[in-house]
Amino acid sequence: MKKLAVVLVLICASMQANAQLFTKEKVLNKENIDKKRWSWGYYLGFNNYGFKIDYVTQNEIDVTRNIGFNVGLVGNLRINEYLDLRLEPGVVFANRNLEFPRVEEDFKSEREIKSSYVHIPLLIKFSSKRINNFKPFIVGGASLSHNLSSNENNPNDNSAGEFRMKTNVANLEVGFGIDFYFEYFKFTPSVRGVFALSNELVHDNDTESPWTSDMDSMKSRGIFVNFTFQ
pLDDT for 25: 60
Q: Strands 215-229, 186-196: parallel, antiparallel or unpaired by DSSP?
A: antiparallel
Parts of the chain with a pLDDT under 70:
1-25, 104-107
pLDDT for 106: 61
Q: What pairs with residue 116 in β-bridges?
A: 93
Non-local CB neighbours of 176 within 8 Å, separated by 6+ positions: 136, 137, 138, 139, 190, 191
pLDDT for 9: 36
* Strand segments (E) across 148-183: 168-181
pLDDT for 10: 40
pLDDT for 71: 98
- DSSP run (H or E) holding 51: strand 38-55
pLDDT for 101: 81
Q: Tell me the domain boundaries of the chain.
A: 29-229
3-state secondary structure of 10: helix
pLDDT for 8: 36
Which CATH architecture describes the domain 29-229? Beta Barrel (2.40)
Decide if 144 contacts 198 (C-beta within 8 A): no
